[in-house]
Amino acid sequence: MSAGEAKKTVTITQIGSPIGREDYQRATLKGLGLNKMHRTVKLEDTPAVRGMIRRVHHLVRIDSADEAPGKRDHKS
């Protein structure tokens, strides 16, 4: 990635409680920087972060995923 390119980011919000969930789900939320309900974080969009989101998809909401220009799918 060259210095002129912007890194893609993803914004996620915790919408579910970790109470009564498996320990790995609690740890994944902490790893994402989410530890309280309705907290929002903006993270770099990497395969590792996407994998973590997939593990707790029922507890988080993806608010936005910034994409590089020209990479969007537009339907006409």
pTM of the shown model:
0.76
CATH code for position 58 = 3.30.1390.20
C-alpha span between 33 and 12 (Å, rounded):
10
Q: Which helix (H) or strand (E) holds 40?
A: strand 40-44
Report the alpha-carbon angle 18-24-27, nearest 5: 70
Residue 58 falls inside a structural domain = yes
Which residue intervals of the chain are DSSP H helices? 23-31, 47-55
Residue of 9, 15, 7 whose CA lies nearest to 64 = 9
> Could you read off the pLDDT of 65-74 as tens digits, one per residue?
765 554 544 4
pLDDT at 4: 58
Residue 45 falls inside a structural domain = yes
Residue of 22, 30, 18 whose CA lies nearest to 59 = 18
Domain residue limits at 15 = 9-65
pLDDT at 65: 72
pLDDT at 76: 45
